Structure 1
Amino acid sequence: MAKNIRVGAHSCVVAPALKDAGLQAGDKYGRMFPELSPCEVDETAMAGLGRAASRMDATLPVVDEGLENRRIPAGFAILGQFVAHDITSDRSLLSHHAVAGELRNFRAPRLDLECLYGEGPVGNPFLYDADDADKLLLGVNAAGRPDDLPRNRQGVALVGDPRNDVHLLISQMHVAFLTFHNRVVDQLREGGTPDEHVFDEARRITRWHYEWVMVNEFLPLSAGDETVADVLNNGRKFYDPGENPTIPVEFSDAAYRFGHSQIRPTYRLNDEVGDITIFPGCLGFKPVPPEKVIDWSHLFEVPGANPPQPSRRLEASLTHALIELPEQIVGHKEIPEHHSLALRDLQRGGALGLPSGEAVARQIGVESLTRAECGLEGWAGETPLWYYVLKEAEVRAGGEHLGPVGGRIVSEVLLGLLDADPGSYRSADPGWRPTLPSAEPDRFMMADLLVFAKEPSP
């Protein structure tokens, strides 16, 4: 039997000192497969799987070309983290087999950019420009450019979610969305939108273009074209958001954590600096120097630019920097293994009593991985769901996208949340199409969003 385990908060990479800030009542988590029994895993075996120098520790200091996934540019792993922070925030400490329905999600389960807008100009005025309340506040870096998050005198970011400053890549993604909203405000004013409607309309346009990117680019790349097309054309089969949607723990604590495997050990941020390590080189919680401002053409496929860096191939291992997370992120830990994001992900699944990957595969009617394909020789019992999702992507999809189990969970939940949200474009106006310029007609993508955000205001 597995021993009792106690793990940190739901947020993967946020300093413990930040986890207790601003606690308030939130919505609950749920289960996608409540009829399935927990996957019982011995704590010692779990630690052996996720610690440094284990099979999940990809120790190479650079991405070997054989481990690159040229199908998915490197920026999509960062966008995926941004989305996770938009729809989930759980600050609880868990005991083994915690009750998902008693956990609190301090985010509304909607892709509505709550981490960007907070409670709006009245509820969170510190997020907005005091000289122009329709616009979100930007920070000015040492070069006098508005290319950073707004910060107080101590360098602490003034954002709707402190996790969006955990590393430079996610903070710059947040800046891109701040800038995008502000550019939309400028465009609306130029087009004659009445002043009293500018903010609400800019928020809607920003949100709907973001949702469009999720449905039409992020999901097909991540979950696979075939799986996403099946859900879009034939409907959801296993996730019913109901009238009061909840985030299933099979999604939040297993399948959607696939992005951890995509993180590269190093990133080229722009033309001026060489490759920089994800940690400590891109460690956040401080102002971003001008030389580290990201040129997004290095992480997304921007027309006319050189090919972007690819993401790391999906497989059952993480880059070494995530196996030994810095103390600034996880806090002081007496036990070295507790610096490992892989172990934290495995422990989280065990604490929540998630079913095995094989059990979910049987439940949705797809062929399970064999014991040999899972690669856990000598392992007692079935495979933890998070590890299974990564291994399934590696074995069934060549590491290019999620396999049948992971792809089904991620697609159904994200599309289900959009369909259950009366404010999303899929609910409010299913025939809507992006209205902002794109490199290809009728094909608005993340690169188009980033290019529009960087264009000078009229």
Structure 2
Amino acid sequence: MPDHCLARLGATAPIDAPLVPVHYARMFPSLPAFRAEEQFLRALGRIGGVCDCEDTDDTPESLAESAAGWPIFGQFVAHDITADRSHLRSETDTAGLINARSPKLDLECLYGDGPTGHPYLFQRDDPAKFRLGKDDSDLQRNADETAIIGDPRNDSHQLISQFHLAMLKAHNAFVDEAREQGIEEAFVFDEASRQLRWHYQWIILHEFLPSLVGEQVAADALQEGSRYFHPGDHVFLPLEFADAAYRYGHAQIRHRYQLNAHSGLLPLFPDLLGFRPVPREHLIDWSMFFDTVGAPAAQRAKKMDGRLVRSLLQLPLAITGECEIEDYQSLAVRDLQRGQGVGLPSGEAVARYIGVSPLDAEQIGLTAIDWHEETPLWYYILREAAVLEDGQRLGPVGARIVTDVFLGLIDADRKSFRHSEEEWRPRKTLSDLLVRS
């Protein structure tokens, strides 16, 4: 992507920060890079292109079984483990790409360097707890209304900013529980942050992953462990995950959301653009985004069908910065260029490598634009989900990459719940953390 179109706040205190820069690397390094002309990528991802699902309502047949909040959770997870600040060109030296996040599922995006390293995130009179914004209904903000949080990307839209806020409140609730249990004050922060991190990791493997790849695939993966991702002591984030498979969530964003019992239906952009205080009428009732005991069923996410809603194909300038070429305001174009820029293989190549039959040209559906070659990995994974799973969950290529990376990262972290000396089980589900925090 051209430089003109692209415009670390530390590591979590309870987790050891990397002492050297963390690089990205390939999960399947022996596979050749996919190559296509930029005009093809732009034709695929621009408004009016194959990835455009146009400006329609969220109809029952376009919606998935999974709740609408899971893609928001997925974005929060992404900000916890990956942050690439580089300018991406059509060809990028991937050896020089630096991940500004520790590749651990440790809530670094929440805790920063903890009360000592980032005291402005925490209460002055009670540094074990996070500082919240006005009336505890928004993030804390400075005089310019910029959010004061561990990762500024978590203020890019109001759904992610309020999710971040809910996680801050969940930590504060664990602080209260630790004190009620009589834990010494010097250890209260450590205990509360450990509980939240372990609940978070458990939720990823036992709630989020089944919603994304299916109950049986998730159960088999937990039983078998990671098959293709074994980072050892030098943990990295695979580019196939960061720049293709884990961008599936862009296709799950709905046209419009109802935030609470009194709000209307609103698109993510521009109505819910972040980087500003959240108005009271936009405060989120999380039971409308995640299924909650005793509440009506939540809104559902959009199916993964290879198409994105218009609000993501016309990103606001506050997100993209000034773009001389209009197509670069499309998130789909950016995803496609990103994958090619870092030299990802085709989806068909990965399918053959892991031993599954690739989709054929008719299933991919690009012959209408006179494309008969192999397919960019990101788009292939979305089409695989649409063709093989009716858009409900990831297919074999996407599921393999995502499950392997989640398991690999958690198992490589010696402080994760999977390395607990005693068998640990959570006390709360994600809806408990969000709704009752």
- The alignment status of 1:389 with 2:381, answered yes or no, reads yes
Per the alignment, residue 288 of structure 1 pairs with 278
Match of 1:146 in 2: 136
**Alpha-carbon distance in structure 2 between the residues aligned to 1:8 and 1:190:** 53
Q: Distance in 2 between matches of 1:287 and 1:61?
A: 29
RMSD over aligned CA atoms reads 1.7
Confirm or deny that 1:114 pairs with 2:108. Answer: yes
1:188 aligns with 2:213: no
- Tell me, yes or no, if the aligned pair for 2:361 and 2:372 is still in contact at 8 Å: no
Aligned match for 1:433, one of 411, 425, 434: 425
Q: Distance in 1 between matches of 2:317 and 2:117?
A: 33
Q: Cα offset for 1:165?
A: 0.2
Q: For the residues of structure 1 that align with 2:360 and 2:411, how far apart are their CA atoms? A: 35
Alignment match of 2:197 (pick from 180, 204, 207): 207
Shift of 1:422: 0.9
Which of 47, 51, 55 aligns to 1:56? It is: 51
Q: Which residue, out of 29, 53, 66, partners 2:24? A: 29
Q: Deviations over 1:329-378 (max 9, x none)?
A: 10111111010000000000010110000000000001110011000102
Matches of 1:181 and 1:445, distance apart in 2: 14
Q: Does the CA-based 8 Å contact 2:257-2:267 persist in structure 1?
A: yes
- Structure 1 counterpart of 2:241: 251
1:26–1:107 Cα contact (<8 Å) kept: no
The 1-side partners of 2:401 and 2:101 are apart by 20
1:408 maps to what in 2?
Answer: 400
Aligned to 1:362: 352
Deviation at 1:7, TM superposition (A): 6.4
* CA distance in structure 1 between the aligned counterparts of 2:364 and 2:372, rounded to whole angstroms: 12
Deviation, 1:98, is: 2.2
Following superposition, which runs of at least 4 residues in structure 1 exceed 4 angstroms of deviation?
none
Aligned equivalent of 2:16: none
Kindly provide the amino acid, as one letter, of the partner of residue 287 in structure 2: S
Quick one: which of 390, 398, 414 aligns to 1:422?
A: 414
Q: Does the CA contact (< 8 Å) of 2:9 and 2:150 recur in 1?
A: no
Structure 1 gap ranges (5+): 10-14, 437-443, 454-458
SS of the aligned residue for 2:127 comes to: strand
**Helix, strand or coil: the match of 1:29?**
strand
Distance 1:8 1:101, change over 3 A: farther
Deviations along 1:43-95, one digit per CA (max 9) or x if unpaired, are: 111110001111101113421221100x2100001000000000000000123
1:452 is the counterpart of 2:428: no
**Selected match of 1:225 from 215, 220, 225:** 215
> Residue in 2 aligned with 1:439?
none
Distance 2:419 2:103 in 1: 15
The corresponding residue for 1:333 is: 323
The one-letter code of the counterpart of 1:417 is: L
Number of residue pairs matched by the alignment: 427
What code does the residue aligned with 2:61 have? G
Paired residue type of 1:228: A
Distance of aligned partners of 1:21 and 1:175 in 2 relative to their CA distance in 1, 3 Å threshold: closer
Aligned residue number for residue 14 of structure 2? none
Q: What whole-Å deviation, never above 9, does each CA across 1:80-135 have from its counterpart, x for those lacking one?
A: 00000000000001233423332100000001000000011111111111121000
CA distance 1:324–1:342, change in 2 (3 Å): same
Q: Does 1:92 pair with 2:86?
A: yes
- Match in the other structure for 1:440: none
3-state SS, counterpart of residue 57 of structure 1? coil
Unpaired stretches in structure 2, ≥5 consecutive residues: 11-18
How far apart are the structure 2 equivalents of 1:370 and 1:445? 40
| 8 Å Cα contact 1:25-1:104 kept in structure 2 | no
Distance 2:378 2:4 in 1: 17
Matches within 5 A, 1:10-21: 16=7
> Residues of 1 paired with 2:46 and 2:359: CA distance?
24
Q: Percent same amino acid among aligned pairs?
A: 47
Q: Classify 1:243/1:95 alpha carbon distance in 2 versus 1 (closer, same or farther; 3 Å).
A: same
Give secondary structure in 1 for the equivalent of 2:359.
coil
Partners of 1:404 and 1:215 lie apart in 2 by 17
> For 1:64 and 1:340, how far apart are their aligned partners in 2?
23
Q: How does 1:147-166 map to 2 (within 5 A)?
A: 147-166=137-156
Q: Secondary structure at the match of 1:311?
A: strand
Distance 1:36 1:310 in 2: 36
Alignment-derived partner of residue 125 in structure 2: 131
Distance 2:195 2:333 in 1: 39
Q: Give the TM-score taking structure 1 as reference length.
A: 0.90
TM-score (norm 2): 0.95
Name the residue aligned to 2:13.
none
